[in-house]
Chains A and B, each alone.
Chain A
Amino acid sequence: MTAPAPVAPANPGMVTLTIEGRTVVVPPGTNLIEAAKTAGVLIPHYCYHPSLPVAGVCRMCLVEVEKFPKLTPACATSVGEGQIVHVHSDKAREARKGVLEFLLINHPLDCPICDQAGECELQDYTFAEGRKDSRYMEPKRFNPMEDFGGDVLYVPNRCILCTRCVRFMDVVAQDPVLNVSERGDRAYIGKFEGHDLTHAWAGNVVDLCPVGALLSKDFLNKARAWELDRAASICPGCSQGCNVMIETRDNVVVRIRPRPNAAVNQHFACDVGRLDYRWINRRDRLEYPQVRTAQGLQTASWSEAIAAAAAAIAEASRVTVLASPSLSNETLFLLSRIATHVKANAVMCVPRGPEAPLAGAKDLALRAERAANHTGAGLLGFIDVIAPLAGLGAHDVVIAVDAAGALASIPDGVRVIVIGTVLDESTSASTVAALPVCNFAEEDGTFTNLRGRVQRFLQAKAPPAQVRPSYRVVSELAATAGVGTYPALAGEIFTVLAATVPAFGGLSYRTLGLQGGPAALLPEVTA
């Protein structure tokens, strides 16, 4: 308990130490795993997770610190001035090799049928530094699979008892429905009969599990990890703007998982955001542009369709732009330009649902506003309305962008320019032109979340047939309708947007990166 003599810091206010021969300067109180990350050194670990309290139980992150009597767990050791840390010394490697051997003695050799294979930390570290053979000659422990409720399946035989799931449900979800039951090598992750993993954020335990013990029932047996293509995106499910990764196999979205962003969603995503992706893959799409002729809606070329839409706008005595608040800032910006030019009302309808907070995480919830870009739409001049078509009649033209649901009953005489992914039967009779556009996963863009954070999402899959990005279609419509000339690429449109709308001043795709940045006019609550 005697404290070592204090060493004068080489960098005042910071701690300077050496990890694997590299000098690291970090704030006091940083643990060795995080400190090593800053030097590009990965200290292998299982139970440690930056968004969870430290448990220090897997003992995988044991490192050698000079002058320490024995190996120390890097997760539970704070940096000290002048420390010299060895991650890959013989002693540390031997210790990890020992842990890997212990973890594997009862672990089934079922990687070929395990969903985690390819993204399994037990597999990776074993491949990197484990024993090449097994010395274990005894029967392996067996416990049957169990449905934990929600989207979660528990395969106890693969469990390494790192307790990340237990700590998440206890400390972050604040709904302790998981426990460690029994003790010694009989221990397993347990729950209480009748109390399932029904918490709105429970699906995170699947991501947190470093091995294949907790699996998503939705993703079960769908794809191997190495078959997936991944794109950084933003969850469109609500106004929180959780950073996510969209994973596709052969151009089909098969899984959505959170992408870490300390300022927005830490490492988490709610179950709604994870599981509500099937609509992205819908094939009952509008795949070609259409225009109304005497024979009804007929397939047309893009230039014919854009021209028909522009003509309808020109003929109209009044135009209403009804946009989805889940469109990108780029598309909404161009729509607002059209609206301003033709003196149209720019309106939107926001779907709502029950709010579901993640109690242990700051300012993180499935928000009641179930739209990705309500804030951005507001900044770009769109007004919330409940009945967008009220009071409209003959000579009114509505430009409905991804707003099929808001067009429940269309007053007689109203003509509609449909820009969207799916042609709604209810609108077809009044449609003058239908312009098929990408959904958010098929194009690039940005959303502004409820705290004003502007965040980029990247194209995750190719659109079908002649479907085009929404910003490009609206850009062409603006040009044809005589509104003005705008670029054809999302990033270039954003540059114009930033130069035009003060709230977005100074932002660019380059500065936003993949973690986003704040819109100037809104206080950044989560920063």
Chain B
Amino acid sequence: MGYPHPSHPDETPVISKYFGDAGARSLVGWQERGGYESLRTALATDPVEVQNVVKDSGLRGRGGAGFPTGVKWSFMKPDGKTHYLCVNADESEPGTFKDREIMRWTPHQLVEGTAIAAHAIYAETAYIYIRGEYTEPIARVTEAIREAYGAGILGANAMGSGKRVDVHVHKGAGAYICGEETALMNSLEGRRGNPRIKPPFPAVAGLFAQPTTINNVETVCAATHVLKHGADWYKSLSSPSNPRSTGTKLFSVCGNVARPGNYEVGMGFAMKDFLWDLCGGPPAGRRFKAIIPGGSSVPILTPEEAEAAVMDYEGIQAAGSLLGSGGVICFDDTQCMVRQIARLCRFYAHESCAQCTQCREGTAWTVKILERIRDGEGTMKDLDTLLEIADNMTGKTICVLSDSCATPVVSGLKKFRHEFEAKIQKNRSSVMIPSFSTAAA
């Protein structure tokens, strides 16, 4: 539902059904709403079967990369090693705040999904890594875990299944990059949150060098509903025209928009209807200037491009951007794109872990040039330099933070170049100095 707004009839609230319903927070409240039935079913089912149901559902990772969840789980084999599940609740991508609401309103939904995923990958221990700024979500999830242990849902004999499922909350401490899966593992191990070089991949050597699966909060929550209602039901929630993007997706909407909030729609929803009907369009009297459809790391779209898009992995890609984490950032016609792109790059420069040369130096340099242009001190040559730096920052580093910083520069310069040029020319307009004759001086 479009929390904090009433649900719109075109929404398909599955994960977000109980947002705003304080009664769903407690164990009793969650059980009254059908909670933990999925977990009971899962624990009685062979992990391979659980993997297969999720595979059949077509569920793909909701953290941004969109990797098929069931396939990811199937990398984990019963090999006698200690397996770990990490749930990525380090929601830090600017424009994204869906996991926050899941944890605030339905913490047991997350605990249930976590336990199911742990079972599916032969793990007895799961860590939910929640960003340190999420004080309320941390408190809610911690309380839910406490209740679940108390009721025997978690622990040595989870729901009487004879299986051990331990779930712990691990609190982050302020670092965007810890949302990157291997950085998260380093952070959990008590290290700097530096992304790791791959291989080895987490499924081979992840957390504490053991086979590890990492899933987004929304992903494991979606899995509980898949198990409860079946793969076919899940697929029926999305547009049948694209079987590669299934089920529902939570979209966070923010920036210059009439009704910011979280909206859950079936994959394949028309973005024009989404922006105007559900979110109410731009603030009164203004027009959209730009839309970033999938969190700050994806290419910027013009309103025309965005409104023509279909909201699923393939649809947004076809429009020239990415579904990403589903954070929709709206810019209206009062915004200076140079200023906002510079600000976005400042975010990445601030959050660069400092490992890779291109990222450490390139993000900061990009910001310096953009801020100089913003302040009217830029040159036309700077625009070429920016694009070349962006190229040198793309596809060359351990993780994609560097690429993410280059993305708004490249797409911004492509679509809003006139704004950059106007900034540059504003204080440097051509002035003809009349010729003075000095011959008769």
Contacts and interface: CB of A to CB of B under 8 A. Distances in A.
Q: Do chains A and B make direct contact within the complex (CB under 8 angstroms)?
A: yes
Interface of A: 1, 54-60, 62, 70-71, 73, 76, 94-95, 98-99, 101-103, 105-106, 135-138, 160-161, 180, 182-187
A184 B356 contact: no
Given A56-B197, A59-B397, A95-B392, A102 B349 contact: no
Contacts of B396: 59, 62, 70-71, 95, 98
Contact of A101 (B349, B369, B392): B392
Interface stretch (B26-34, B248-256, B320-328, B359-367): B359-367
A20 to B, nearest CB: 21
B361 A59 contact: no
A489 B220 CA distance: 78
How extensive is the interface on chain B, given as a class? 20 to 34
A135 B363 contact: no
Contact of B354 (A98, A103, A106, A184): A184
Given A1-B75, A138-B372, A187 B358 contact: no
Contact of A135 (B197, B385, B391): B385
B354 A183 contact: yes
Nearest to A46: B357
A5 to B, nearest CB: 18
Given A183-B352, A185-B352, A138 B368 contact: yes
Contacts of A105: 361, 365
9 contacts: A56-B197, A98-B392, A103-B361, A105-B365, A136-B365, A137-B372, A161-B355, A180-B354, A185-B354
Nearest to A185: B364
Contacts of B351: 183-184
Interface of B: 75, 175, 192, 197, 201, 203, 349-358, 360-365, 368-369, 372, 385, 391-392, 395-398
A60 B357 contact: yes
A70 B395 contact: yes
Contacts of A95: 392, 396
Given A103-B357, A184-B353, 5 more contacts: A137-B372, A161-B355, A183-B192, A183-B353, A184-B350
Q: Is the interface of A mostly helix, strand, loop or mixed?
A: loop
Contacts of B357: 57-60, 99, 102-103, 160-161
A106 B398 contact: no
A57 B372 contact: no
Given A135-B385, A138-B372, A59 B352 contact: no
Nearest to B349: A184
A131 to B, nearest CB: 11
Given A95-B396, A183-B352, A106 B361 contact: yes
Given A59-B357, A161-B354, A185 B349 contact: yes
A217 B103 CA distance: 55
A102 B365 contact: yes
Nearest to A57: B355
Contacts of A160: 357
Contacts of A62: 396
